[in-house]
Structures are given as C-alpha cells and as structure tokens.
Structure 1
Amino acid sequence: MKGLKRRLVLGLPPLGVLVLILAGWYLTTYRILEPDRRFLLPPPHEVIAEGFLEAKIRMDILEAGWVTLKAALIGLAIAFVIGSVLAVLMAQARWVERSLYPWVIFLQTIPILAIVPVIGFWFGYELTARVVVCVIIAVFPLVINPLQGLLGVERGLHDLLTLARAKPFTRLVKLQIPAAMPQVFVGLQSAAGLAIVGAVVGDFFFGRGEIGLGLLLSRYSSRLESAEMLATVFAAAILGMAVFWVFGALGRRLVGRWSDAWGAAERQSASPGSS
C-alpha cells in the first residue's frame, strides 16, 4: 500500500502537467489558430498518427535516432575523458586550476551555432564534425562537477591521510575520486542531455552524411510537414530523457547506497527501522 501511494505521489504531478499541456495544445490548435493556419501546430493525435504510427516515418525517425545517439555517445565518451583529466589536474595544484579554469569557462560561452561552419571546414560535415560539436557542448559539466567533488572532500579526511603519510596518488585514488563519484554522475547526467542536443544541432546545420534527427528535422521543415517535424522533435527529447535516466540509474546503482545526493538518506529515512 505504501508503495502504491509513493508511486501515485511521484506520478500524478507530471501527469497533471501533461494534461494541462495537451489541453493548451488543443486550445491553441482549434481555438486560436485559423483553420488555414493549423498546419503550424497540428493537434497531438495527428502528430502521433502521422509521426509515430505511420510505418515509414517511424522507421525514418528510428534510424535517424540511432545516428544521433551514436554521435552523442562517442562525443560524450571523449568529453568524459577530457573532463576527467582536466578535473584531476586542476584538483592537484592551484596554479593548474588558475591556468585552466578561465579557458573552461570560455569554452562554455562559445556560441556553438557561430562556430559550426568552422568545425565543418576543419573536420568535414559527417560523423567526426558532429562528435566535435557534442564534445564542445558536453565537456563543461564533466569538468566542473568532478572538480567540485574532488575539491569538496572533508578537511578531516585529508588530515587522516596526512598523518598516514599518504602520497598524492594514494590520496587521489583512495579518497578524492571515490568522494567525487556522486558529482561525476551528476555531470554525466547533464552532459548526456547536452550531447544529444549537440548531435542534433550539428546534424541540422551540417546537412550532410548519415541522416540524423537534425537533418530529418531540416527536411520536414523545408516540406512544411509539421506533424512529422514535431514527432522528430519529440523523438529527440525522448532520446535525451532516456540517456539522462540511464546515467541517473547508474548513479543510484553505483553510489546510491552511500551518497545522500543519490538517495541514500531518503531510503534510510523510509526504512522500517528508522525513527
């Protein structure tokens, strides 16, 4: 009974918001837009029928989704390696942090749409260029979040290792990296969604190579196929939510037993033996 109540508490608010969104959508389509302009925002049932239930369109979206996911995961893996290395280097010496941190911020503030043509000139217009866009967009949280975790270890734990005459590498492996893991997964969650966005943006503007969701969006938009275009947008959003939830599940699985940030405190308070 408690489990059912908990699921209702968690599930009803999002469902309520969904009902409001759908009601507003139908209101806009049938009451605000003139009949000759309803192609701008087709109703939800039309998007589902033409975008997801139509076999050819559904297959096109699935195939494009795989191309987008492939570019995003490759870019995310590269960004994770780069971010982890930079975070470790910055956590070991203040002068390294002072030297690199401004450039990490600078990379985050680059208007990615403005440099997409430059990326295309350098790396071509296919998978490699899309991966580069994903790396640029996704690397920031994979530097900042692990760095906060590495630097946020309690001073008393550092003092214990100092008394034990631990070397810097031992301190890093035995203390800092385990303590930073919750923040690492927070960064991965954020970066995973950004990588999907980067893959779609790169695909949309490069307009060549394998057809990903971005290129599919461009084609549907040029043909004024609104229902198919919205279905592709929703597919990209679902893909981003899926990778976000995957890394969330990994975080709860790997560090949730002891990390308050990943639900350890909540589970402890909900256990029968807790006061």
Structure 2
Amino acid sequence: MSTENVTSPAPSRTSKAAKSGLRTWVPPLTIAALLVAVAYIANAMLGKRSFLLPAPHEVITKLWDPTSAPDIWVAMWRTTVVSLTGLLIAIVVGVLWAIVMHQTGWMERALFPYAVMLQAIPILAITPLIGFWFGYDFTARVVVCVIIALFPMVSNTLFGLQSVDRGMRELFKLQGATQSIVLSKLEMPAALPAIFAGMRISAGLSVVGAIVGEFFFQRGTPGIGSLINKYSARLLSEELFASVLVASLLGVVIFLIFGWIGNRAVGKWYDFG
C-alpha cells in the first residue's frame, strides 16, 4: 500500500506536463498550418504573378540552397551580434535611467519626458543624423537598436521599482535601512519581474532596430536588413521571403531566450508566464 502511495503521483505529473505542452504548442502550430495553407492557395490563385507570393516550400529551400543559404545565414549572424549588442546596452542604460528617476520625484519629472520623446521620435527621420555622427557601419546600427529598445526597459523598470508594497517600505524604514539598502534588498528584487518583462519586449525591438539600421546603413558587412534591401531591388521574391522568415525567427528566439532567463531568475516565486 505504501509503495502505491509513493509512485501514484508520477503519472499525474506526467499527464499534467503533457497537457501543458499541448496547450502551449498546439494553438501556434495550428495557426502556422493555416497560414501555410493560405499561402499555397494565394500562390495558386496568382497564376503568372505567383512570384509576388512564392510557395512556402520554395521559400524554405532557399535556406539550404548553396546559392543563397550562405549569404542568409552569415547575414543572420551579423544581425544577431548587432541586435544583442544594442539590447545589452539598452538594458544597462534603461535600468540605470529608471533607478535615477526613482530616487526623487523631481528627477522623474525632469527625465521621464525625455524617455517618452526618445520613444516617439520617428527613427527613419533621424537615421541620416545617426549616420553623420556615428558612421554608416556597426556603431550606427547599434545606436538604432538602443534607441528603439530603450523605452520598454526604462518604463518597466520604473514601474517595478514603484510597485513595491508600502508596508515593506515602512518596515525597512523602521529598521533604519539606508536608501541604498532599500534599493538593493527590497526594490530591485521586487522589480525583477517587470525588468524581465521589459527585456522580452526590448529583445524583439532590438532585432527590428538592427534590421532598420542595416537597411539604411549599407556600408560594412551586410546583415539581414541589407539582404532584404538587395533582394527587394532585384525582385528575388523567394530569397526576400526567406530573409524575412529568418529575421522573424531571430526575433522569436531572442524573445524566448529572455523569457527562459526570466523564468529561471524569478520563476520560483513569481509566475512569469
């Protein structure tokens, strides 16, 4: 009897894990299958103009076609380096910016409007200035990444710091804790879920920033954005869609990686999702 009591929960946990996996993967895979079916139908309906929307299998084959795959995968690696560099800079600057604003009310009132302005600036309008100031290669692309990915880190970190329970603040104050101790022992740990949520948002935006930067700054080593521009100009639709697909997958992978890191960091005490 005791042996049955010990071993019986295992199938239950396995069943729950299987159901959880089905709930996670079945909906997006179903939508993907529907999109593929729609693409095939649209390709067939276009007839002689089918090059405008190539069949999915023709796009996929370009990812290992020796005439196009090397360029695409090397460009993806370069875009990954640019996007991760810009993302890491945005994380550090965003967290420090939010901490400075959190110290006093007048600092928040003085600095937060500039964070909003940075978010509202149309990036395409200032890319010429970025090129003038930082050149037209790696540094300029990273700057575009930082500008696009910075605001979610600032706003989410500030929100997390300000969301600490008031009772906990009072408890630290009664114990005579200094402002630095309150920040390091209470506010920063409590803000971690919001910080990692900001990282997930900024991760996707950093890929967008890298592609935009490569699209406009053509000098130096080409990335996915440079290839998209080239394939579009030459009407190479299959290679163009393959490059767009790889860029989308890159954004998803970086998003999932930071989601996984967030789960490992705060998942034991917070349902990170």
Q: Same fold (TM over 0.5)?
A: yes
Structure 2 SS opposite 1:209 = coil
Structure 2 SS opposite 1:52 = coil
TM-score (norm 2): 0.93
Cα RMSD (Å):
1.0
How is 1:13-32 mapped onto 2 (pairs within 5 angstroms)?
13-31=27-45
> In structure 1, which of residues 134, 148, 151 is the aligned counterpart of residue 162 of structure 2?
151
Q: CA deviation at 1:60?
A: 1.0
Alpha-carbon distance in structure 1 between the residues aligned to 2:99 and 2:138: 29
> In structure 2, which of residues 176, 187, 201 is the aligned counterpart of residue 165 of structure 1?
176
Aligned residue in 1 for 2:116: 105
Provide Cα deviations, 1:235-256, integer angstroms capped at 9, x if missing partner: 0011111110000000000110
Alpha-carbon distance in structure 2 between the residues aligned to 1:77 and 1:12: 33
Alpha-carbon distance in structure 2 between the residues aligned to 1:251 and 1:149: 14
Q: Which amino acid aligns with 1:259?
A: Y
Alpha-carbon distance in structure 2 between the residues aligned to 1:38 and 1:143: 45
Aligned residue in 2 for 1:48: 60
Q: Which amino acid aligns with 1:142?
A: M
> In structure 1, which of residues 150, 173, 187 is the aligned counterpart of residue 198 of structure 2?
187
| Identical-pair percentage | 49
Structure 1 SS opposite 2:68 = helix
Alpha-carbon distance in structure 1 between the residues aligned to 2:63 and 2:228: 15
Aligned residue in 2 for 1:266: none
Provide Cα deviations, 1:104-132, integer angstroms capped at 9, x if missing partner: 00100000011111111111100000000
Aligned residue in 1 for 2:253: 242
Alpha-carbon distance in structure 2 between the residues aligned to 1:4 and 1:37: 44
Q: Does structure 1 residue 94 correspond to structure 2 residue 108?
A: no
Aligned residue in 2 for 1:5: 19
Aligned residue in 2 for 1:129: 140
Alpha-carbon distance in structure 2 between the residues aligned to 1:139 and 1:66: 22
Alpha-carbon distance in structure 2 between the residues aligned to 1:56 and 1:186: 40
Q: Which amino acid aligns with 1:96?
A: M
* Equivalent residues, number: 259
> In structure 1, which of residues 177, 192, 214 is the aligned counterpart of residue 188 of structure 2?
177
Q: CA deviation at 1:19?
A: 1.5
Structure 2 stretches of 5 or more lacking a match?
Answer: 1-14
Q: CA deviation at 1:27?
A: 1.4
Q: Which amino acid aligns with 2:58?
A: E
Structure 1 SS opposite 2:235 = coil
Alpha-carbon distance in structure 2 between the residues aligned to 1:237 and 1:106: 27
Q: CA deviation at 1:221?
A: 0.9
